[in-house]
Structure 1
Amino acid sequence: MAIVTEVISITVREAVGRYTGELTIEDKQIQQQELNRFVRDLERVATADLTAQIVEKFQEDFERTGADSRRLEPIKLFLAYAHKKSLTDINYGKFIRIRRTGSRARGGVGRGNERVELRSHEMLTADGFQRLQEELDTLITVKRPEIAHDLQEARIDKDFRENAPFDAAKQHQAEVEARIRQLQAILARAEIIDGNTRTGGRVSLGSRIVLHDIEEKEDLEYRLVSPNEANPKDGRISVASPVGRAVLDRSAGEIVEVEAPGGIARYRIDKVAL
């Protein structure tokens, strides 16, 4: 007779809280940022209501930003934990597809024998480094004091059991502090690329390119940046994104193909500039 384990249904936010509560301080600091993203997207979903479609859509939305899928490793570890604790009917972590590239880094964090990669260097463009530094400065000098004020105001209500403003401020504080630690880690190991060391004509990190969409007959302008700098709305796409991988190390005049949800998209590289 098969043994059926009853699923304990709690919110994704509560489940992530339980998971991070069992992590070491070091592991929690490194994993918190991506776990916060997962919570923000699925905070109204109960663990018992998770499905493969929900998890796969989360990854699709994540990868549309140009971010490296390896950053989803904390989500994969959390989902394995949720199943182990009977919070889900199956291990939905198996639906997170981590695309491995190159050799594994020496260091890492994880649970047991599972490890999350840490890169020794973070290649950034000069303006990308400045943007991240400005974001860090704003979080430390503006957001951190604002949250401290909000917590002080919320503490005026002595009944913490149903103090929604206090809980919201504490959650916001955790997210901001996790982002501060992440930015500090990125900037500490950053290497700023030097345009003078790149050969002209071939697409590389930092290149500004003009692509011609052969099917749609329109031109698209992008700058290739690291995953941490990517912002497609501003025309900055990651070298790890589908388009980034397709054009990397190519030259003007070449035609590349990119796998898209609607099929194969074909682009001609019209211009490459440093």
Structure 2
Amino acid sequence: QIGGYAEQVAKNTMSEEAVEGLQAVRKFLAFIHKQEITDMNLATHFRVRKSKGNSRTGRGRSLSQKGGQEMTQEGHDQLTSERELLESNRVSISESIQTAAEDGDVRENAPLEA
């Protein structure tokens, strides 16, 4: 019956989340056998098929299956401006670290305490 369950779930859906869930069930079945809760290793009967997408290149998988997120233009612009601000502060931070190193004070928060 346990092998039939895995096949039935595989027929209905093969999303990446479903495969991960089935892998978790398989690991649980192996665990209960190792703990001697069951006499038989049921994990051997619980086969999980890989998703049909090419796992090496990611072809055949949608954006949501790859774990990516969509972004609005406003969000993109906000992140771009934040990146530019951080890059412009990089020079001053580097100079304060260099000054602290020249003074011999190499503690992590030395420039902030001065």
TM-score (normalised: structure 2): 0.40
> Relative contact order, CA 8 A, sep 6+: which one is greater?
2
Instruction: Identify the structure with the greater helix proportion.
Output: 2
Instruction: Identify the structure with the greater strand proportion.
Output: 1
Rg comparison, structure with higher value: 2
